[in-house]
Amino acid sequence: MLLAAARYGYPNAKVRALRSRKLTEQDYHFLLAARDLPACLVYLATTSYRPYLPDPEEGVPELSSLERQLARPLLDDYFKIVHSLPGTRERALILALFRRFEAENLKIVLRALFRGLSREAVSHLLYPVDQLSDLDWDVLWASTSVPELLKQLRPDVFGRSLQHALPQFEAQARPFPLEMALDSSCIRILQRAVSALGNRYDRTVSEKIISLYIDILNISWVIRLKTVYGLYPEEIVNYTLPGGNVITLGCLSRLARAEEIAEFIGHLPSSFRRELSAIRDWEKIGQRLEKYFVKALARIFSGRPFHIGIGVAYLLEKEIELADLITLLQAKAKKSTVEEISSRLPWHLTESRNVPAG
């Protein structure tokens, strides 16, 4: 414990200080009660997001640009946590988690290249990854074809996975196989970083978090691939991720074949089945899974304090906060009612249901 305290004393203090700046239940109450998007931004200026908001005298920005501006505090926190860690392997784990944002930007580059769009046309959609990314984005944007772009990537950082997906991309004539390959590559990079940790407790806690993350991703992906993309069960299983904790390949196969929600939930392991038993709408499953994941991440902070899992759990919490904030702002921009917005937000943010309109 003394060695762990010496190693993680400063990073632990840094993470807990950052965590204290997260949006509170009261913040969500007032954001939900705000009458419109400008009123939301006025209130948001009283929170830790204030330095990242546009100048109010310039008016309300395009929502897509605002979304990426609001991602900057999360990516700044990645930078702060990486530079608070003394060990190379621990920093590599946080950077592996960060790779998912590089992958999202790569998807935009691929889509732009596929559709003949310029960098300027989609720049507002890009995450601000400049502080930590080691990819040469200028070279990637200069590519004139997808195969040329893939050659610019390191084999161990997206390149190999995308090369394997290239034949499917060429056969289907759409970026979808490449995008799924990027998602899978991110998870493999993350799993390698967890396995490389030298401390057993660091590995145990990190594996627990990432395995649950993969389980929830797989459940969500099966639903999306089934209900949005209409893929066959065999195709759905091929796009899922290995490395979960309780969602096995056999379970994924059964989920992919389930036609009704009750049947789908019935095929889940008991821990998820209990959480989802009352759900009757496919869209509500993701909201309930988020609540389940948030509770699991919060438990990491009530256990032993000195380990890398504290940083991983916080960054995933902050990512969920960002996603929920964007959902709320999008709904306010559409002038949705409080009741409509509440139905789209995870239940742990709106359980009181007693938010008056502003």
218-245 pLDDT per residue, tens: 999 999 999 998 999 999 999 999 889 9
Residue owning tokens 């930078």: 79
Instruction: Give Cβ neighbours of residue 118 (< 8 Å, ≥ 6 apart).
Output: 112
Separation CA 19–CA 15 (nearest Å): 6
pLDDT at residue 352 in the model: 42
The percent of residues in the chain predicted with pLDDT above 90, rounded, is 83
Separation CA 88–CA 20 (nearest Å): 26
- Are 299 and 208 spatial neighbours (Cβ–Cβ below 8 Å)? no
Secondary element (H or E) of residue 27: helix 25-33
Q: What is the mean pLDDT of residues 111-125?
A: 95
Model confidence at 64, pLDDT cuts 50, 70, 90, reads confident
Q: Name the residue among 133, 224, 128, 125 with its Cα closest to residue 176.
A: 224
129-170 pLDDT per residue, tens: 999 999 999 999 999 999 999 999 999 999 999 999 999 999
pLDDT at residue 4 in the model: 73
Instruction: Give Cβ neighbours of residue 233 (< 8 Å, ≥ 6 apart).
Output: 253, 256, 257
pLDDT at residue 242 in the model: 87
Q: How far apart are the first and last CA of the chain?
A: 50
- Are 346 and 291 spatial neighbours (Cβ–Cβ below 8 Å)? yes
Instruction: Give Cβ neighbours of residue 69 (< 8 Å, ≥ 6 apart).
Output: 52, 53, 54, 61
